[in-house]
Amino acid sequence: MGKRSNFERREADFYPTPAKAVAPLIPFLHASGVRTFAEPCCGEGDLVRHLESFGLRCVHAGDISTGQDALALDYYGACDAIITNPPHIRELMHRLIEHFQRIAPTWLLLDQDWSATKQAVPYLGACTDIIAIGRFVWIPGTKDSGKDNFAWYRFDARHSAGPVYHPFRSAALLSPPARLCAHRGCGKPYRPHRSDSRFCSANCRQRAHRERLSRDIAVTPAPAEVFRYVRHADVPKFSAEGWEPLPALDGTHHGEHAVLMRRRRP
C-alpha cells in the first residue's frame, strides 16, 4: 500500500484499519468531547470495532460495497464526528473531504505526504489538526509495515486557519484539537483546556451568558395580574381605570394609609 509498495492495489482501496492506527487518535477524540461517530466507508467494520472498544458509539456505518454511497447521503445520524479510513484514490478522496466536512467535523486517515502536495492546498485551510501516527502493517498475514507514514486529519468546514501539526507519539501529551468558539459573534478557533470548554475566552463566555439572559427575559410572559398600593383619596380614580380594591391583609396596618388594589391584564 502506498506509492513505494510492491503490493498490488486492492479493489476500492480496501485495507482494514489496524488497531494500532486508532489508539493515537483516542486522546484527541476524548479531549474534544466526541462520544458518537459515523463511519461512511466502513468496509468490514474494523474501524468501527476499534473505536467502540474505546467506549465510543457508532450511529451510522455504511460502505459502497453494500450499496451505501457516502456521497449520496447528506446525513449520517446525530454524530459528534465522522471518522473513517477513506479510499485514497485522489479524485474520490478529495470529493469525500469536501462532502464530509460540510456534514460534521471529520477525522480521516490519510498518508502524511499528501499534506505536502499541491493537490492538498485547497483542502488544508479547513484542516484543524494533523496527528502523525507513523507506519503500520496494513496487509493481514504479513510482517512488514507499509512504506508510507500516515496521519489522522481533522476537517471542519467552519475552519479556515489551517492545521496544527501533532508530531508522532505526541498523543501522550493529550493535546486536544482546535475548536471553534461557540459565541455567535466570535467563532474563532482555539485550544480548549477542558473537555467541556465551549468558548475561547472568559469574555466570550460572559457575552454569551448575557445574550442568553436577554433572550430569556424577552420571552418571559408578563404576569396576568398587577398589584399596587393606592392612597385612599386616589381610589376612585384607579377604580375608574379598572382597578379593584382588595381587603387589607390580616394583622397589618395597610388599610390605615393605603388600599391594596389589583388590575387584571387584558
Q: What pTM did the predictor assign?
A: 0.62
Q: Domain 11-177 is in which class?
A: alpha beta
Q: Is 150 helix (H, G, I), strand (E, B) or coil?
A: strand
Helices (H), 35-156: 46-52, 90-103, 121-124
User: pLDDT 10s per residue in the chain (266 long)?
Assistant: 444 455 555 454 556 888 889 999 999 999 889 999 999 999 899 999 999 999 999 999 999 988 999 999 999 999 999 999 999 899 999 999 999 999 999 999 999 999 999 999 999 999 999 999 988 776 666 666 667 899 999 999 999 999 999 987 644 444 455 677 787 777 777 766 665 677 888 888 888 888 877 765 555 555 666 878 888 888 898 888 888 888 766 555 566 678 888 886 66
Instruction: List the chain domain ranges.
Output: 11-177, 225-264
CA dist list (Å): 110 to 19, 88, 102, 114, 222: 15, 7, 19, 7, 57
81, β-bridge pairs: 37
